[in-house]
Amino acid sequence: MARQRSPALFSMARIGIIACHAVLMAGALVMVMPMLWMFVTAFKSAAEIAIWPPVFFPQAWTSANFSGAFETAPFGRFFLNSAIIALVSTASVMLTSLVAGSVFAKYRFPGRGLLFGLVLATAIVPFEAYMIPLYIQLVGIDWINTYQGIILPYLFMAFGIFLMRQHVSSSIPTELMEAGRVDGAGEWWILARVIAPLSGNALAAVGIFAFIQGWGIFIWPLLIANDQLLFNMELGLTAFQFAFSADIGKLMAGSVVSVVPMLIVFLLLRRRIIENMALTGIKG
Amino acid sequence: MLFCYVALLPVVALFFYVRIIPIGFSFLLSFYKWNLISPRRPFVGFDNYLGLLEDENFLLALQNTTIYSFSTVALSTAIALPLAVFLSRKSRLSAFYQTIYFLPVITPMVPVSIAWKWIYDYNYGILNYGLSLVGLPSVAWLTDPAIALWALVIMGVWKVLGYNMVLFLVGIRNIPAEYLEAASIDGASDWQRFWRISFPLLRPILLYVVVTSTINAFNVFTQVYVMTLGSQSAPGQAVRMLVFDIYTNGFQFFRMGYASAEAVILTLIVLGLTVIQFTLARDKEAKPR
Amino acid sequence: MTQTRIGRRSAMGLAAGAGLAMAAGRKAKAADITLNIWTGYPELVPWYKAMGAEYTKAKGTQINILSTSLREHEQKLAAAVPTGTGPDVFDVGQILGITFIEAGLVKPNPAAIDGLLKSAAYRKSSAEQFTTDGKTYGLPMLFSTPAMFWNKAHFKEAGLDGPPKTFQDKMAYAKKLTKFDASGKMTRSGMSLRLSGQGSGIAEKFRFILEPAGGTLIIPNGKGKFRQGYDNDAGRNALKYYIDAVQVDKVDDPKVQHDAAAFVAGNTSMLMREAWVIGEIKEKAANLDYGVAPIPAWGSGPHKTLLQHNGLWVNAKSKNIDAAYDFMLFISSKEASVKLTQLSGWVAARSDVDWSPLLKDIPQYKEFVSPTDGVQFYPEPVMAAWNEIESRLADRLPNAYIDTSLQDPAKLAAFIKAAAAQTDQILKQNDLYGT
């Protein structure tokens, strides 16, 4: 729109825009710096890590930190566990959010407000505060030190239910569901064939949140996994850092391994991810 | 109606099992004294709560968490909004910026905290190197108690900025073009159009951003946990936050009841803040109409 | 080990050990047992793994090791042991050990282990630490004492010919050893103190100076109760020492690199730490020219150093309790003890081990395996509230070290008074307070 203005204003505006870009570029640099710094450090030798002034790019790229990290701990296995935990959790969160979100959005039944309120309110309580009672419950069913025990608390997500409810109540026309009912469709059919197909983006957003959460958990597996073979990436990494004197190079190498899959997924699907994540806020 | 209960049953059952029951148990524990290990678990009434009121660590954690949360929320909102306004213009670079600014949102907290700890390193950190390039003295980002909390705020803003920006961005794009065009014809400047038209329409999103950011900020934990490890780290007091203090009481001193009481208070605070934010937003919305 | 010169006491220990091994050998029969072992010391993992492999070869029992670092390890144990989901054998400090003992989660030692602990295989002081109400629980695993590492090259360069004997000398030496760059920024600290971070370690390091100065965090009243013991000259002197080091003499600074990493990198000249630092140096800076001396004395006072035992314990809820005790014996043999030190750098708790091959290889171990005569040990009080007492003091210290107003003696005294009052307060909360 600026282009339709007078020439003088045009050039003023142009200078302003260039200045804005300069600021944005600087900001962008700040945003990627931590990741970049992590990457280049992971490829430096110990001698190059501890020098002042620091060199940004390693003079001699080395993969020693990576091989060292994989020797010290089975990061391959950790990686696999992270993937299993995050994927199962994501699938379950998407399903439960769809069902519960739709029901909360489109059906009236006694206890609806109370139940939905409870779901939201408990989301505020920090997990660290009740993980011991949960642990004791899992002892009762013998789920300590198992995959199912690690994943259980992450099978549903209050935020996901909230998002789906918002989406369904505002974007799915009730008439469409009524039309289905007139045709004799059951409620499950409506859920699967009417609501679900129209909720792809919202579900994707929920899935992304679930995946980020599932990939990032570490306090719970720390408590419940008693076998290194059940450790996930984040836990392996923390355990790694906690050894007496942390080896920065190896630590960064492990961090890179933990971050890279998220980065790849993100860069491949960036537009969808950003748009879908954005959807989550609109109907707040 | 039967469908509702049948459909909800698995979710609700799960919800009760992994949230309601443990949270309820934790709430009950807040009236007991229990070291996690001993079979003895005496009832102490409100002693844990009363103890907290005199506990300087708790009060300090409350203060730090409040400063951290308000700063993070205010800064990330104040930066995200103009950023979104600028990026809402059609520009080839817009998608690029969005990707870059969004990057921190998707990266897991543990590796990111480790990376930031290394960035903040006084001796070899890239941040101090950057300062030295422009002739500024090195800053002890983590070890200086006056600065450590702000180092965490910077990282907190960095992490959440992209998410808030994208939310605003979509909000701006959803503003019907006719509104803005009408205002242009009336001779409103860019500035006026933003404050008179865009901003009021963005208010629901602003509320959403502020509420979710506040909840997340009050529950900050992983960064603190990582940043206070070791001798080259932040002084515990400088960055003591509520969840970290709960963790210390529960898992380092094994005072489970006490830690539970602290968690109850934290929950009430966040709940209260959320209600206040909603009320404020509703009042504002009500006035113009 | 056959060339060992066997003394009277150690001969008794040897006999006891042999008897034990036979007794235990009869009990462990099932080859399909798996024992779970948890350790809070990642450095010990290579040793545990080696011992596990040997044990599997000898007895057929499988050994599964889980290592997390100390803070996480203790948290896991606290959740797992009472609920019966814990390991069969675990190592942990005595503070948590006593909590388990009080809760009945660790049982008194069987006769074989009890005999070994009371034999000459262990120091009397070690055995006492593992005795509660006349019964022994668990076995000491690590004999952990700090000593002072000093960088010989730095000393030579500064014209100093040996390590300081007193803390006063140490400060004077440190002033000569500290280096600054042109802008006045410290590039090498004369001594590395623990000045920042979080957790009990900060208070523990404060005690390195407090105790030689004649103070202590808590004093027993002889009737099972305690009171603070540092609101006095010793407490004030120890804090003043830290403040002088940071603010007045400027021989250390919270900003510079610290701890083992700094010593290994040559960024500090003196560091008070335990034996494991030797392992670090061996791995990361094999050419470092350094010595290890006793912790300095305070003026004409005695040399004093902290003694911590990390213990091995058998979980009372273990389903393979006999095998667990058998494994515990197996990894507490003399041979296993030597190996422990070789593989991890930590010093094993058995006192009847012949360290001469190790000392020939790395003479710096001397101060750790056979401390200089006259060095007194102050033990860790065995009580559940100890961690809280240390941690709460540790919360206060980092700010004090850099608080310039504390150069005023009255303010410093007030600070110590407040910290000590909190210590008493914690004792009271735990029904442990008494004068």
pLDDT tens digits for range B46-71: 999 999 999 999 999 999 999 999 99
Residue A51 shares a structural domain with residue A122: no
Optimal mutation site among A38, A152, A215, interface B, most CBs of chain B within 10 A: A38
pLDDT of residue C185: 87
Among C44, C172, B200, B80, which residue's Cα sits nearest to residue A243? Answer: C44
Alpha-carbon distance of C276 to C43, in angstroms, equals: 9
Q: How close does chain A come to B22, measured CA to CA in Å? A: 5
Q: How close does chain C come to A241, measured CA to CA in Å? A: 9
Residue A101 shares a structural domain with residue A228: yes
pLDDT of residue C224: 87
What residue of B is the nearest CA neighbor of C104? B38
Residue A58 shares a structural domain with residue A76: no
The residue range of the domain holding A90 is: 66-282
Among B246, B219, B13, which residue's Cα sits nearest to residue A152? Answer: B13
Query: Last residue of a domain, which of A12, A32, A62?
Result: A62
Q: State how many domains chain C has.
A: 2
Alpha-carbon distance of A119 to A105, in angstroms, equals: 14
pLDDT tens digits for range A33-69: 999 999 999 999 888 887 878 888 898 899 988 988 8
pLDDT of residue C9: 43
Test B37 with C105 for CB contact under 8 angstroms: yes
Instruction: Identify which of A189-203, A246-260, B145-159 has the greatest average pLDDT.
Output: B145-159
What residue of A is the nearest CA neighbor of C74? A223
Test A132 with B229 for CB contact under 8 angstroms: no
Which has the higher per-residue pLDDT, A190 or A275? A190
Interface contact C266, partner B, CB < 8 A: no
For residue C71, the chain B residues in CB contact (below 8 A) are: 252
Optimal mutation site among A9, A31, A220, interface B, most CBs of chain B within 10 A: A31
Residue A232 shares a structural domain with residue A248: yes
pLDDT tens digits for range B79-115: 999 999 888 877 778 888 988 999 999 888 888 998 9
Residue C209 shares a structural domain with residue C271: yes
The average confidence (pLDDT) of chain B is: 88
Query: Last residue of a domain, which of A41, A62, A83?
Result: A62
Residue A147 shares a structural domain with residue A209: yes
Of residues C66, C71, C265, nearest to A227 (C-beta): C66
- Quick one: average pLDDT of B204-214? 88
Of residues B8, B18, B167, nearest to A152 (C-beta): B18
Residue C185 shares a structural domain with residue C323: no
Residue C342 shares a structural domain with residue C254: no
Residue A85 shares a structural domain with residue A37: no
Test B260 with A134 for CB contact under 8 angstroms: no
Residue C261 shares a structural domain with residue C313: no
How far, in Å, are C193, C386, C400 from residue B60 at the CA level? 26, 22, 16
Residue A136 shares a structural domain with residue A232: yes
Interface contact C68, partner B, CB < 8 A: no
Residue C301 shares a structural domain with residue C203: yes
Test A242 with C75 for CB contact under 8 angstroms: no
Residue A39 shares a structural domain with residue A77: no
Of residues B37, B123, B251, nearest to C99 (C-beta): B37
Interface contact A141, partner C, CB < 8 A: no
CATH number, domain at A139? 1.10.3720.10
- Return the percent helix, strand and coil in chain A, to nearest 5: 80, 0, 20
Test A31 with B119 for CB contact under 8 angstroms: no
pLDDT of residue C15: 46
Question: CA geometry: angle at C39 spanning C36 and C42, to 5°?
Answer: 125
pLDDT of residue C242: 97
Chain A / chain B CB contacts < 8 angstroms: 251
Alpha-carbon distance of A58 to A277, in angstroms, equals: 36
For residue C388, the chain B residues in CB contact (below 8 A) are: 252-253, 255
What residue of C is the nearest CA neighbor of A137? C83
pLDDT tens digits for range A2-28: 444 445 555 777 788 888 888 999 999
Optimal mutation site among C66, C273, C280, interface A, most CBs of chain A within 10 A: C66
Test C197 with B253 for CB contact under 8 angstroms: no
Could you please report the per-residue DSSP string of C227-268?
Answer: EEE-SSHHHHHHHHHHHIIIIIS----TTS--HHHHHHTT-B
Alpha helix segments (H runs only) across B174-288: 177-185, 190-193, 199-218, 222-227, 242-247, 256-286
What residue of C is the nearest CA neighbor of A241? C69
Alpha-carbon distance of C328 to C130, in angstroms, equals: 15
Which chains have at least 3 CB atom pairs separated by less than 8 Å from chain C?
A: A, B
pLDDT of residue A101: 93
Residue C262 shares a structural domain with residue C153: yes
Q: How close does chain A come to C267, measured CA to CA in Å? A: 11
CATH of B56-286, one of 3.30.70.2520, 1.10.3720.10, 3.40.50.150, 2.30.30.40: 1.10.3720.10
Q: Let me know if residue C112 belongs to a domain.
A: yes
Alpha-carbon distance of B136 to C416, in angstroms, equals: 37
Q: Along the 435 residues of chain C, how does pLDDT read in single tens digits?
A: 333 343 444 444 444 444 444 444 444 455 678 999 999 888 899 999 999 999 999 999 999 999 888 878 888 999 999 999 999 999 998 888 988 998 899 999 999 999 999 999 999 888 998 998 899 999 999 999 999 999 999 999 999 999 999 999 999 999 999 999 988 889 999 999 999 888 888 999 999 999 999 999 999 998 889 999 999 999 999 999 999 999 999 999 998 989 998 999 999 999 999 999 998 898 888 899 999 999 999 999 999 999 998 999 999 999 999 999 999 999 999 999 999 998 888 999 998 999 998 999 999 999 999 889 999 999 888 888 898 999 999 999 999 999 999 999 999 999 999 999 999 999 998 899 998
pLDDT of residue C171: 97
Question: CA geometry: angle at B206 spanning B202 and B208, to 5°?
Answer: 120
Phi then psi dihedrals of residue A145, to 5 deg: 60, 40
Residue A73 shares a structural domain with residue A178: yes
Most distant pair of Cα atoms in chain A: their distance: 77
Task: Tell me C297's DSSP state.
Answer: B
Test B205 with A282 for CB contact under 8 angstroms: yes
CATH number, domain at C253? 3.40.190.10
For residue B123, the chain C residues in CB contact (below 8 A) are: 255-257
pLDDT category, A243, cuts 50, 70, 90? Answer: low
Residue A14 shares a structural domain with residue A133: no
Q: Which residues pair with C151 in a beta bridge?
A: C290
Q: State how many domains chain A has.
A: 2
Optimal mutation site among B121, B142, B143, interface C, most CBs of chain C within 10 A: B143
Q: Which residues pair with C140 in a beta bridge?
A: C311
For residue A157, the chain B residues in CB contact (below 8 A) are: none
Regarding an ipTM greater than 0.95, the answer is: no
Residue A171 shares a structural domain with residue A189: yes
Residue A222 has pLDDT above 80, yes or no: yes
pLDDT of residue B27: 95
pLDDT category, A246, cuts 50, 70, 90? Answer: low
The residue range of the domain holding C134 is: 8-144+308-371
Please state the pTM of the whole predicted model: 0.87
Q: Let me know if residue C270 belongs to a domain.
A: yes
Among C311, C305, C368, which residue's Cα sits nearest to residue C126? Answer: C311
Residue C74 shares a structural domain with residue C39: yes
pLDDT of residue C87: 96
Residue C67 shares a structural domain with residue C57: yes
Phi then psi dihedrals of residue C301, to 5 deg: -70, 180
Residue ranges of C 234-263 with Cβ closer than 8 A to chain B: 254-259, 261
- From the number of C-beta atoms within 10 Å of its C-beta (0-12, 13-18, 19+), residue A198 rates as middle
B234-267 exposure pattern, b = at least 16 Cβ within 10 A, e = fewer: bbbbbbbbbbbbbbbbbbbbbbbbbbbbbbbbbb
- Quick one: average pLDDT of B144-168? 93
pLDDT category, B201, cuts 50, 70, 90? Answer: confident
Test A103 with B132 for CB contact under 8 angstroms: no
Residue C102 shares a structural domain with residue C185: no
Query: Last residue of a domain, which of A19, A46, A62?
Result: A62
Parse chain B into domains and list their residue ranges.
56-286
Q: Let me know if residue C168 belongs to a domain.
A: yes
Alpha-carbon distance of B229 to C434, in angstroms, equals: 35
Q: Let me know if residue C376 belongs to a domain.
A: no
Q: Let me know if residue C3 belongs to a domain.
A: no
